[in-house]
Structure 1
Amino acid sequence: MLKNRFVVMLPFSLLAAACSVQSSGQSNEPLGAVQQPEVWSAKDDPSLFSSDLVRVASALPTSGEVARIPWAGSYWPTYKDSINYRWAGPSSASPAKKYELAFGGADVEDAVSRYHGIDAHSNARSCTRTSQCDASLGESCARRAGEGRGYCIPTWFGICHAWAPAAILVPEPEHAVVSNGVTFEVQDIKALISLVHEGTTVKFVSLRCNDSDENMSRDEDGRPRSACRDTNPGTLHILLANYLGIKKQSFVEDRTFDYQVWNQPLRGYRILEQEEITSREANALVVEGSGAASDRYKFNPDAVSFLHVKTEVQYITETSPREGNVASRIDDYTQSSHYEYVLELDARGAIIGGEWVGRSKSNHPDFLWLPVRQPPSTVAAGGAITYTNVKALANASITP
């Protein structure tokens, strides 16, 4: 795997298997067991996105929105066999089948299932009905079309790790396209353009939490002891302000801090409250117990001043596979998360770290990543679907 400091090509095992990024590939330790330091680690450093970021808190904008809002699309759930799903009805052709009819090849749906869909989970529990699956894990008995037996697969598994970068890097398809006698509706094009973006080159910040909330080890202040403390709020604040506020460029957050992964492209943010506080007040916000009364800040010896911040972050959510172009209704697919944290500043007023506060200790992004580019040689479904063909469809769908 490439491990360049600024651009990391993440492998399929990292980006797939759920609506998720599995691991950063930047540590040899089990991710759920990594002990987080009190200051942000090298893996939380916002310079992993860019070396030219503004870090002085007073110089950062307090709100911002991206220049081109990412489009809303389906995460094409695994338990519905990914883009083999016949969204227009059981007698219709799936996006994968349409690709085969237009561009040739054989058994494209089998390849999609084997690499991205139900057959990719053939080591899971076999089932004939959902009652045989684990409801606590959100599993459903997933069966391919025409099959009586399938596998227990969590319903949140899918390709949001591929939809999110596609929604950022490629304009939303606008109308149907006829190619080699096959009509590709907007829904079909969205499915295909999402799938081929599973190989996107990205910049990645933080680690992945592999623990469930209820089984997570915490310190005396209620903070996760492991990678589940990610992302550092100072990192999030700097990247929100620089990318959404200054560059007007979207990136992706995993908005759930525990083992589930929901990758969402970001639309905008705004600082709801921001006030300077003392070290004693900072301790009182973060520390649980008698240590809260101390004037000596407990967590970062390099911090000389502090800000208490409440932030709203807007992200784009998923649609049904049946939805086509939704640009005119993008507000309906925009949702918000609210985060509260203490920012740690140095003598220049630059952000050098932070701590989550209150409910945000258990409700904050797990990791952040920036889609950079999609190599034109990319293939999906083991080579059955090529980026070049799919991108041609996407381009044709936005021309008159």
Structure 2
Amino acid sequence: MKNQQAFAPFVALGLFAVFSGLSAPVASADPREWNENNDPSDMLNQYEARLDQLPTSATLPAQKMPWSDSYWPSKQGGIAARWFQKNASSKYSNFNYYSPNLAELHKMTSEEVALLSPAEKYDIYRGKYNYPLVARERDRTGPDSKSWEGICHGWSAASMLHAEPVPVTVVNADGIAIPFGSSDVKALMSLFYAHASDNEVGNVVQLGARCEKSKVGNLLSRHSDEDCADTNPGTFHLALGNLIGKRQTGFIAELDDSRQVWNHPVMGYQSTLGKRARPSRKAAPSAVSEVEVKTVVSYIIEINPTWEAVLGTPNEKSKTIEYRYTLELDGQGAIVGGEWLSSGHPDFIWTLDRLDFNRADLKEGDIDFSGITGIYKTR
């Protein structure tokens, strides 16, 4: 659901940074219990590690709920797709259309301008009638791209960090009225965060590692191939309990442990704990017991673009996925590891800081995202 090259700063380069602004903990596990891809302190800084002190269920509050939108598939032209125009004649339509010049725009009705792509509208808003953002998108995307390639990493980040935009009509310096639908603005915000990842801008924290195998099978957390073992279930449970459960802060998860990359904002969970038992032979050295857990994770999914905002409406879409795993506990009841019991599990999880659309280090030639501040309006 995203371009593989664009995601390199999150995956291939393995950026790690401390996630700032988090509350003080009650207890933390010994970092020596975790491998380099799964140390919870990288993401959580100080955190509550005791299982019985973590909420067994939680959902993000309404004011922090991520919003659904398109992942802007590359094979459809990314955000240069004229999504509001329903009669595209072929898969090449978004790659060879003609964009209107200023004289033609003055003759167009508001309804006609509304049919243009998010990239075209943004170029018009900035008075760039040579359409540099459209050109950039056409260079970045292509009709023969894989169906899952797009900017879901940008969408997931934007939806997690910003309130949902509403439709707005703005007038540029040449007097052109430009109607932006909610998804037009979302597209620009999503591309902004994807562009930030390309340029390694922002504090990104990742736990787990991407699996490059086409078929993972029943790999568990201590398999010799550490990348394809994915996020350790102990780390994953600590992220759920501390971020969503205690701090009401979401995170993003790559839920498909295969070659494809599908990022989604995680917004809730419900865990059922079984009885404690003696630790298994492969358990962490400090483990004195382990408990079997079933957790149902709720996450926001992608939809087709919409003109109106979707939060609180039937157009907002989410799904659930069930994971089964064991958690290993030390003598204080702190989580120090775990093993996956279910065959499917998250490849990696990540967080990042909210970015300012006016950042100078994200300007690149004629590409300048600072104009988003003039069109981004919320309820």
Shorter chain as denominator, the TM-score bin is 0.7 to 0.9
Alignment match of 2:288 (pick from 277, 301, 304) = 304
Q: CA deviation at 1:319?
A: 0.9
Shift of 1:387: 2.9
Question: Which stretches in structure 1 are left out of the alignment for 5+ residues?
Answer: 1-11, 28-37, 119-141, 143-151, 284-296
| Structure-1 separation of matches of 2:7 and 2:54 | 37
Contact 2:277 2:291 in 1 (8 A): yes
Secondary structure, counterpart of 1:239 in structure 2: helix
Counterpart amino acid of residue 205 in structure 2:
K
CA deviation vs aligned residue, 1:212-253 (integer Å, no higher than 9, x gap): 116x7969x994623010100000000100011000111100
Q: Alpha carbons of 1:17 and 1:50: their partners in 2 closer, same or farther (altered >3 Å)?
A: closer
TM-score by length of 2: 0.77
1:112 aligns with 2:137: yes
Match of 1:25? 14
**Equivalent position to 2:124, from 91, 94, 101:** 101
Q: What is the TM-score of this pair, normalised by structure 1?
A: 0.73
Q: Per-residue displacement from partner, 1:305-358 (whole Å, max 9, x unpaired)?
A: 111100011000001024531112268511111111111111111111111014
Q: 1:329 aligns with which of 304, 313, 320?
A: 313
User: Match for residue 372 of structure 2?
Assistant: 390
Q: CA separation of 1:44/1:65 partners in 2, compared to 1, >3 Å: closer, same or farther?
A: same
Q: CA distance change for structure 1 residues 324 and 383 in 2, over 3 Å: closer, same or farther?
A: farther
Select the residue among 190, 196, 205 that pairs with 2:192.
196
**2:162 aligned to which of 170, 175, 180:** 170
Offset, 1:260: 1.2
* 1:95 counterpart letter in structure 2: P
Q: Match of 1:231? A: 231
- 2:190 and 2:273 mapped to 1: Cα distance? 37
**How big is the alpha-carbon RMSD for the aligned residues of Structure 1 and Structure 2?**
2.8
CA distance in structure 2 between the aligned counterparts of 1:342 and 1:354, rounded to whole angstroms: 5
- Aligned pair in 2 of structure 1 residues 98, 71: CA closer, same or farther (>3 Å)? same
Structure 2, unmatched stretches of 5+, are 17-31, 89-111, 197-201
Secondary structure, counterpart of 1:49 in structure 2: helix
Pairs within 5 Å for 1:1-400: 16=6, 21-25=10-14, 40-67=34-61, 68-89=64-85, 90=88, 92-105=115-128, 106-108=130-132, 109-114=134-139, 116-118=140-142, 142=143, 152-180=144-172, 181-198=177-194, 199=196, 200-213=202-215, 223=223, 225-279=225-279, 283=280, 297-322=281-306, 324-329=308-313, 332-359=316-343, 363-375=344-356, 376-377=358-359, 382-394=364-376, 397-398=377-378
Tell me the amino acid that sits aligned with residue 311 of structure 2.
A
Note the C-alpha offset of 1:179.
3.2
CA deviation after TM superposition for structure 1 residue 153, in Å: 1.5
1:389 Cα offset (Å)? 0.8
Question: Equivalent residue of 1:301, what SS?
Answer: coil
- Residue 345 of structure 2 aligns with an amino acid whose one-letter code is H
Conserved? CA contact 1:186–1:325, under 8 Å: yes
Change (3 A) 1:332 1:217: closer
In the TM superposition, residue 391 of structure 1 has moved relative to its aligned partner by 2.7
Change beyond 3 A, Cα 1:87–1:218? closer
Q: Report if aligned partners of 2:222, 2:229 keep a CA contact under 8 Å in 1.
A: no
Residues 160, 378 of structure 1: alpha-carbon distance in 2 compared, 3 angstrom cutoff? farther
Q: 1:218 to 1:162 in 2, by over 3 A?
A: closer
Read off the aligned partner of 2:71 and give its amino acid letter.
Answer: Y
Matches of 2:353 and 2:38 in 1, distance apart?
A: 19
Relative to 1, partners in 2 of residues 1:330 and 1:253: Cα closer, same or farther, differing over 3 Å?
A: farther
Which amino acid in structure 2 is aligned with residue 351 of structure 1?
A: I
